[in-house]
Amino acid sequence: MAPQVLYDLGRAWYATRLDPDYEPATAAEAQAIFAAHGLTSAFWSLTG
């Protein structure tokens, strides 16, 4: 994984973690974050 992809993924993944009303991403939301960063192989699949 290229460093820029990892950086961008981390920014998207942790963007709202410090919000007082934070709620974890649903599986569908997490899958969308992965896909938005080109992480679409079976390794990144949350559906099994």
Give the pLDDT of residue 42.
Answer: 96
Asked if residues 9 and 33 have their Cβ atoms less than 8 Å apart, the reply is yes
Q: CB neighbours (10 Å) of residue 37?
A: 20
Report the predicted TM-score, pTM, of the whole model to 2 decimal places.
0.86
**Number of domains within the chain:** 1
Q: Which amino acid is at 43?
A: F
Q: pLDDT tens digit string along 1-48?
A: 999 999 999 999 999 999 999 999 999 999 999 999 999 999 999 987
Range of the domain at 29: 3-16+25-44
